[in-house]
A and B are shown apart, each in its own frame.
Chain A
């Protein structure tokens, strides 16, 4: 059973998660003592194929077709279905991106399978493959196995360190696919951004981030004061921005900004996967939450299981002394 990894780009620019999936695929192929092949698809993507050839893979497939110029689930599914039938891999890995979530389940269904999505680990178990997933927003883990080949799985952001290219030069082969314009049922328009950003959370050294635990919009100033005392930026998890309590540009997570401050204080944030992905790069993490089993404590350096409405004002007083 060989391993095939599907790499993603947007308009010729690599999605960095592609190389994390490549690293997961390289590791498991080595454990299974089998070949690793990679595929990139689009239109006019020869230079992307050449990029991949520098990694530790035994072969790079490129699928070049004008109908793959813009991503559509119908086009990508049809193209990859044809390649997988040709290569017959035992395991197909993807980065767990929004795009993969859009088409990989459809592709797996063509082979009568479910996708083992958003896995945090993948490893050989004899000749079988074991996948590790998070359940209940990260509160429990599950070991998952798949009966029969091919197995399909997508790798969570940050679960693997990105693979490094080297002096290798793997063979590149273009795979011709049969696609018909009439089979593509969606017409995508050009991607856009809603608003100009005025806050760059990515550059902040200290971030105080607030979640559902704050309960009401009227309580936001409690946390805002903490950010001010520390000279940091105020940020939030998704539900806070969805409610309009803080602007969208202050959202940290997979659909918001990715941050890497020296200090990240998570206040009343439970730590859903989508949020953790955005703050993985933080050096020191402090979590304040009344639920001591909240997943945010898994990634925190310092944890306070307590009532934020008592703890945060006490912190403000304490930091005033320190900073004063």
Chain B
């Protein structure tokens, strides 16, 4: 089975997020980057499917040169080769264009399955995988927790709202967007890191791929959210804040 995993590199969760000088994107100068967490689970799911069924895992990632680190990590964990769609701008394009570029880069690959995380931790649009399926002409399922290959098809367990689940049988080729936390993530071994150095990473400049390059969705302004509630911040030693809070909950909020 040939499995493509689309992974995104995002700023680490505990980063300091500030708008940049243009006010249209954030200041990336002191950010650390890491693999988008749901994509890490998509990669894990792909590697486990390969171990069970044989075949190949191809990683694809779009972004500036820094995403090569995320690609190398994925290769060290066991992916076989990678495609880097190299972009120049830091500020993101819209998901439709991202999906168009990935679809174009995968044209020659004809995978059986494409796995990706259900959404990104940075922008959270949660749609690149679904659009990709539409552009590739593949079936799809979102928020997938388990994948069970069948003869010429796959059966997946999807998460619905409020604790409900559902099994769906899909034709292949298919795109699956994977829920976080479905499996234990593996670490790269020393051997894996060594092997990764000789694995193929093909760089394709985004500008060489055919896509509508003018995004339909434009971020006009990025800013810190206004507080919806007046938050009283309590300060002092642990004992002091504990005392203050107990007072407030008893006599101000009257909830204990």
* Chain A residues within 8 Å of B, Cβ to Cβ: 73-74, 97-99, 101-106, 108-110, 112-118, 130, 133-148, 185-194, 197, 206, 230, 238-239, 241-243, 248-249, 254-258, 262-263, 270, 273, 283-287, 291-293, 295, 297-307, 310-311, 313-315, 317-319, 321-323
Contact = CB atoms under 8 A, between A and B. Distances in A.
Interface in B126-184: 126-127, 130-131, 133-135, 139-143, 159-171, 180-181
B242 A315 contact: yes
A113 B166 CA distance: 29
A211 to B, nearest CB: 12
Contacts of A193: 163-165
A99 B135 CA distance: 20
Given A140-B19, A319-B256, A116 B217 contact: yes
A295 B133 CA distance: 33
A74 B171 CA distance: 12
The 4 closest A-B pairs by CB, nearest first: A242-B181, A105-B127, A314-B242, A185-B139
A314 B241 contact: yes
B13 A318 contact: no
A106 B181 CA distance: 25
A166 B248 CA distance: 41
A188 B157 CA distance: 10
Interface string B201-240: 0000000000010111111111111011111111100110
> By CB atoms of chain A within 10 A, which of B181, B238, B248 has the most?
B238
A16 to B, nearest CB: 11
Contacts of A104: 127
A239 B165 contact: no
B142 A98 contact: yes
A137 B253 contact: no
Interface string B103-140: 00000000000000010011111110011011100011
Contacts of B141: 102, 186
B245 A298 contact: no
Interface stretch (B58-66, B79-87, B94-102): B94-102
Contacts of B192: none
A117 B215 CA distance: 15
B232 A301 contact: yes
B190 interface: no
B245 A141 contact: no
A101 B253 contact: no
21 contacts: A104-B127, A105-B126, A116-B217, A135-B124, A136-B11, A136-B15, A140-B222, A142-B220, A144-B219, A147-B215, A186-B141, A197-B163, A242-B180, A257-B163, A263-B253, A284-B249, A299-B229, A305-B233, A310-B238, A318-B243, A323-B256
A112 B212 contact: yes
A108 B96 contact: yes
B255 A254 contact: no
A249 to B, nearest CB: 8
A109 B166 contact: no
A206 B256 contact: yes
Contacts of A285: 229
B124 A134 contact: yes
A189 B253 contact: no
Nearest to B183: A242
A189 B167 contact: yes
A189 to B, nearest CB: 4
A286 B180 CA distance: 27
Contact of B216 (A117, A142, A147, A299): A147
A141 B130 contact: no
B188 interface: no
A107 B250 CA distance: 52
B231 A117 contact: no
A194 B163 contact: yes
A302 B232 contact: yes
Contacts of B15: 136
A91 B214 CA distance: 20
Nearest to A302: B232
Contacts of A197: 163
Given A106-B131, A302-B231, A318 B216 contact: no
A108 B126 CA distance: 13
A115 B125 contact: yes
A109 B130 CA distance: 9
> By CB atoms of chain A within 10 A, which of B99, B168, B217 has the most?
B217
Contact of B124 (A137, A146, A254, A257): A137
Contacts of A298: 225, 227-229, 231
B27 to A, nearest CB: 11
